[in-house]
Amino acid sequence: DRQTLVAVLQFLRRSNLRESEEILRREARLLGDDLGGGSVATVASSSPGVAAVAAVPPGKGGARAGAAGSLPGAGGRSLPAGPLGTWGALFGGGVVVEDQPDVSAVLSAYNQQGDPTLYEEYYSGLKHFIECSLDCHRAELSQLFYPLFVHMYLELVYNQHESEAKSFFERFHGDQECYYQDDLRVLSSLTKKEHMKGNETMLDFRTSKFVLRISRDSYQLLKRHLQEKQNNQIWNIVQEHLYIDIFDGMPRSKQQIDAMVGSLAGEAKREANKAKVFFGLLKEPEFDVPLDDEDEEGENEEGKPKKKKPKKDSAGSKSKKQDPNAPPQNRIPLPELKDSDKLDKVMNMKEAARRVRLGPECLPSICFYTFLNAYQGLTAVDITDDSSMIVGGFADSTVRVWSVTPKKLRSVKTAADLSLIDKESDDVLERIMDEKTASELKILYGHSGPVYGTSFSPDRNYLLSCSEDGTVRLWSLQTFTCLVGYKGHNYPVWDTQFSPYGYYFVSGGHDRVARLWATDHYQPLRIFAGHLADVTCTRFHPNSNYIATGSADRTVRLWDVLNGNCVRIFTGHKGPIHSLAFSPNGRFLATGATDGRVLLWDIGHGLMVGELKGHTDTIYALRFSRDGEILASGSMDNTVRLWDAVKAFEDLETDDFTTATGHINLPENSQDLLLGTYMTKSTPVIHLHFTRRNLLLAAGAYSSQ
């Protein structure tokens, strides 16, 4: 109803029927106030007036912001002066326009800007200018080509100049960088305005600002050139769709730029990576380990005065001081340790004592689990922490659990039998198991689509699986039945993972958000929205306070579980990200994508610290060894590669300039860091797992081609 009112108002305005417009607006305002909007702001069309209105953030649905032209309802963005100037010139006087919260408002962000046939002239003029500029500036200014090209093309399409759009595309698409080719191919199929409506990724691309990092000198050069031209259409587009993050210092070289660009939204703004991240690990409680002879001092470690007293009593811990980079113990609520968890931890410590120390001289042995007869249906694999069970998620919607130790999988006895057992006996946990149901394989049915992600809980009681049917299912590994189906994503869910402490889990899917759930809430606790394309990979940080998500928009974001904020944005990959791995000390993140590169990031500083080249196809599996000395990567090119993580992370240059600007000079040392390449027999590697003793397990499905 409101929409039709707005449409009528606009029509009257366009036809210059002022009086009828005033009358209608007066009456409509009465109705509108009943609907409960914000205050109506009438604004003169001069620029300062427009700027004042821009200060009123356009709320979503309901609030009326006065400005010429309809505005996209996304967040509070500063309004460009250019297009508004043109509208204002047409109307004069006070104009009021409703804020349309639907998609058409987003689409109509593109106003008529200049003659469509001249777009090619503008673009080639800019191209000529940049090519004639000084070498040091050229690399930086070349970053402008791609976003400008896309935005100009989309504007031509939106304003229905199809033939001009096609010829524009034909002429200039070959000039773009090679890593944008996939995007350009998608773009070439968008030739009509109707095509744009269903494509959420393209819509997001146009409403979010493409971020470019340019040095001050280059920026001055560009600005001077664009403003002195008569038709400064390009300047308008730059102001409207690009965010130029200016830094003081040397312009960057092509190599530096190439390392960081590639994502759908340009690079990350510098302040996006400035928030403090608690990347340290939580204190582990100490136990009376039978073989341990440590005498317990019996003193609590002193925390910093500001921090609250930790919940868990850590008697006799080796480091007395609280790690300043570690989050407070109760920053997020975590489940308490049960007796079974404590037993598990004792086992873990015993195994850790027998762990093999890995290094360049001592490489791990690799044990490969090949799934035969899967007919390319194996879509997800997970292995428990103690390496006792393997689960496979398949394209036929089944989830299959295998026991890889001689101990078979058993389900709990029925209620009748359970009443007969002696509950006080010591081995009650064995007695509740039904021997008749022992088998090596259990098949779990329930999903109605391919299963794309699986995750065991740390206490091995639960299993999660997420699927194309949009649900995440929780299965009990004691009864081998489905307990809960969590519905929230209505679109395929690509990945899910339990928190290292259990209870929480994260899922990410096609709807471009990641959700944090707890097993006892049927709705998500947190929604992490911000990616421009599907979230393909989700991982918890070892301290469970942060979640990393990799997406098809080629960025990796780090989110804070406490308040849902995005604390880090890492750009640099040239393809959708399919694997993430945190280092065991929590300081570093390794990411792998379809471009075959593994990138290493320092979480604390928010910088890229390494690039491992070698794989030739998508990297689906990444894992650090138990003490973080070796990084293993598995890929679709049927190889497992081992990299020296210790060497990759030493000598990090973190001088002031680097921290301020985020610009790094990556050494070309992939060959030095590569410790070994191991080929499988045409089996892509989709999962890697280091056992507690640092044996590397890998899993994949044999594919005969």
Partner 1 sequence: MEPAKMASPKSAPKDAQVMAQILKDMGITEYEPRVINQMLEFAYRYVTTILEDAKIYSSHAKKSTVDADDVRLAIQCRTDQSFTSPPPRDFLLDIARQKNQTPLPLIKPYSGPRLPPDRYCLTAPNYRLKSLQKKVSSSAGRITVPRLSVGAVSSRPSTPTLGTPSAQTVSVSAKVGTPVSLTGQRFTVQIPSSQAAVKSATPTTPTVQNVLINPSLIGPKNILITTNMVSAQNTSNDPNPLKRKHEDDDDYDAL
Q: Is 624 in a helix, a strand, or coil?
A: strand
Residues in 392-421 that interact with partner 1 by CB under 8 A:
412, 414-416, 418-419
Alpha-carbon distance of 349 to 336, in angstroms, equals: 19
Residue from 98, 164, 204, 469 binding partner 1 (CB under 8 A):
204
With binding defined as CB under 8 A, does residue 182 bind partner 1?
A: yes
Helix (H) or strand (E) holding 568: strand 566-571
Report the C-alpha gap between 701 and 371 in whole angstroms: 4
Among 19, 361, 435, 520, binds partner 1 (CB under 8 A): 520
DSSP string, 221-290: HHHHHHHHSS--HHHHHHHHHEEEEEESSPPPPHHHHHHH--STTBS--GGGG-S----SPPPPPP---T
Using CB under 8 A as the binding rule, whether residue 74 contacts partner 1 is answered as yes
Site string for partner 1, 366-395 (x = CB under 8 A): ------------------------------
Q: Does 341 bind partner 1 (CB under 8 A)?
A: no
For partner 1, the binding residue among 479, 585, 658, 669 (CB under 8 A) is: 479
Tell the smallest beta-carbon distance from residue 528 to partner 1 (Å): 7
Residue/partner pairs of 149-153 with CB below 8 Å, 24 or more apart: 149/123, 149/173, 149/175, 149/176, 150/183, 150/187, 150/205, 151/206, 151/210, 151/237, 151/241, 152/119, 152/122, 152/123, 152/237, 153/187
Q: Which of 529, 616, 660, 667 binds partner 1 (CB under 8 A)?
A: 529
Q: Are 610 and 649 in contact (CB under 8 A)?
A: yes
Per CB under 8 A, does 528 bind partner 1? yes
Which of 416, 431, 363 has its CA nearest to residue 675?
Answer: 363
**Which residue in 32, 73, 458, 508 binds partner 1 (CB under 8 A)?**
73
Q: Tell me which of 526, 557, 623, 626 binds partner 1, using CB under 8 A.
A: 526
- Which part of the chain contacts partner 1 (CB under 8 A), choosing from 3-11, 83-91, 178-186, 256-264? 178-186
Residue from 310, 335, 584, 676 in contact with partner 1 (CB under 8 A): 335
Q: Which of 20, 340, 523, 616 binds partner 1 (CB under 8 A)?
A: 523
Residue span 94-123 as binding mask against partner 1, x where in contact by CB under 8 A, dash where not: -------x-x--x-----------------
| Residue 582 to residues 246, 500, 543, 602, 625, Cα–Cα distance (Å) | 31, 12, 10, 10, 11
Cβ 47 to partner 1 shortest distance, Å: 26
Which residue number, 98 or 140, has a Cβ lying nearer to partner 1? Answer: 98
Applying CB under 8 A, which of residues 137, 512, 605, 663 lies at the interface with partner 1? 512
Applying CB under 8 A, which part among 192-200, 220-228, 277-285, 351-359 lies near partner 1? 192-200
| Range 156-162 contact pairs with CB under 8 angstroms and sequence separation of 24 or more | 156/116, 156/119, 157/190, 157/191, 157/192, 157/193, 157/195, 157/196, 158/107, 158/110, 158/193, 158/196, 159/110, 159/112, 159/116, 160/192, 160/193, 161/116, 162/191, 162/192
CB of 128 or CB of 195, closer to partner 1: 195
Binding site for partner 1 (CB under 8 A): 60, 72-75, 101, 103, 106, 181-182, 185, 188-189, 198-200, 203-204, 207-208, 332-336, 412, 414-416, 418-419, 445-446, 461, 474, 476, 479, 481-485, 490-491, 503, 510-513, 518-530, 532, 561-565, 705
